[in-house]
Amino acid sequence: NREWHLLSRPVGWPKPEDFALVEAEMPVPGEGQVLVRNRYLSVDPYMRGRMSAAKSYVAPFELGKVMQGGAVGEVVASNAEGLAVGDHVLHFFGWREYAAVDARHAVKVDPEAAPLSTYLGVLGMTGLTAYAGLLRTAAFKEGDAVFVSGAAGAVGSQVGQIAKLKGASRVIGSAGSAEKVKLLVEEYGFDAAFNYKDGPVSEQLRAAAPDGVDVYFDNVGGDHLEAAIGSLNQGGRIAVCGMISVYNNTEPAPGPKNLARLIQTRGRIEGFLVGDHYDLQPQFVQEVGPWVRDGRLKYRETVVEGIENNLEAFLGVLRGDNIGKMVVKL
Ligand code: NDP
């Protein structure tokens, strides 16, 4: 049973020396627990925050101990009622091959209904983030023009497509490569897309959204947020989901200079955490599940094989190596 430990808190970009893949004892499931053999491990940008000591909405990872994260796996031994050997569960003990999991912290999932990995992505946490952030926080309504950054990633690709499926007048996305930009327009049906590395975001956004934007779904922060405020229409809303452009900064990033424009536009900017919106999960799966099954909502996953590559997969998410949800297959 191998598991990834955090050895030291990274400063700036995480380095391999900050981590170790450790051979650990096989966990023994106690009363009310199951032993799970993990099949897919999630790697997510928020994990960078847990590697730092700063208090946040989740506690920091402990030094010298195994890290945590979303995972799906197969029950191989059970001391819990309601879960049997051969069942599959979603739980929170990733970054390891085997985990002893309290049955009350495990959610049974059906591998026949959808591929196992999708419970971490398009039908899982990142999918719900897109759904709740767009529909609830940004109060999306038919006819809105929507701009989303990180648009080829797990959350962003779903934000754009849900907006289209629900009658957006125009959907614009930004991403970090020509390949990703092509995918947004040709496969996901975005009306316009640009590579933020090609030139100033504000200019590229103005060209892509000449009539402005009503909703900006922010995954990136920084110059993307500034550009979106500059293009915001009257009554526009900004849902602040993430700010990946600053996660590895050692100095505070300069902020948007045009925040006062929110006054003239009566614009609203609002942060949200997916954890507050799990009451939407049944509605989300009921509405989005059929779109995924019949292909109206498309998704990509970037699958890295092997627990030894768990760290590289995580660093790859921060670099942008992934298209869609990045998962590790064991
Ligand atoms: P993604 O699948 O979108 O992967 C992250 C992507 O960020 C990379 O693929 C990369 O793509 C892009 N990126 C990296 N650095 C930069 C940069 N400097 N500027 C612009 N883009 C960059 O991850 P998720 O979909 O899981 O997460 C997206 C965002 O949502 C993150 O900010 C995350 O923290 C946040 N989040 C927030 C939640 C909440 O509850 N509020 C819940 C889940 C996620 P590219 O090649 O385009 O640069």
Complex-level ipTM: 0.99
Residues with CB under 6 A from ligand 1: 44-46, 126, 129, 150, 152-156, 175-177, 180, 196, 219-220, 241-242, 244-245, 272-274, 317-318, 320, 322
> Residue 228's pLDDT is what?
98
Euclidean distance between the first and the last CA atom of the chain, given in angstroms as a whole number: 12
3-state helix, strand, coil in the chain (%, to 5): 35, 25, 40
Rounded Cα distance, 20 and 23, in Å: 10
> Residue 56's pLDDT is what?
82
CA distances from 91 to 243, 245, 265, 303 (A): 26, 28, 43, 19
Q: How confident is the model at residue 45 (pLDDT cuts 50, 70, 90)?
A: very high
pLDDT above 90 (res 54): no
CA distances from 317 to 64, 326, 328 (A): 23, 7, 12
Q: Cα(51) to centroid of ligand 1, in Å? A: 17
| 266-298 pLDDT per residue, tens | 999 999 999 999 999 999 999 999 999 999 999
Domain boundaries, the chain: 2-121+299-329, 125-275
- Percentage of the chain beyond pLDDT 90 is 96
Rounded Cα distance, 29 and 288, in Å: 35
Rounded Cα distance, 318 and 273, in Å: 19
Residues 6+ apart with CB under 8 A from 122: 154, 158, 288, 292, 297, 299, 324, 325
196 DSSP assignment: G
Strands 107-109 and 88-91: antiparallel
Domain 2-121+299-329 listed as CATH 3.10.180.10: no
* Residue nearest atom 43 in ligand 1 by C-alpha distance: 126
Q: Cα(92) to centroid of ligand 1, in Å? A: 20
Phi and psi at 262, nearest 5°, equal -65, -25
Q: How confident is the model at residue 36 (pLDDT cuts 50, 70, 90)?
A: very high
**Nearest 10 degrees: Cα torsion 129, 120, 69, 78:** 130
174 DSSP β-pair partners:
194
CA 324 to chain centre: 9
| 178-218 pLDDT per residue, tens | 999 999 999 999 999 999 999 999 999 999 999 999 999 99
Helix/strand/coil for 89: strand
> Residue 58's pLDDT is what?
86
| 98-154 pLDDT per residue, tens | 999 999 999 999 999 999 999 999 999 999 999 999 999 999 999 999 999 999 999
Kindly state the average pLDDT of the residues 242-256.
91
> Residue 25's pLDDT is what?
96
Q: Cα(223) to centroid of ligand 1, in Å? A: 15
- The distance between the two most distant Cα atoms of the chain, rounded to a whole number of Å, is 61
pLDDT above 90 (res 52): yes
Q: Take residue 17 and report the two structure tokens written for it.
A: 């020396």
Residue found under tokens 């690709």: 157
- The CATH code for residues 125-275 is 3.40.50.720
Q: Cα(30) to centroid of ligand 1, in Å? A: 37
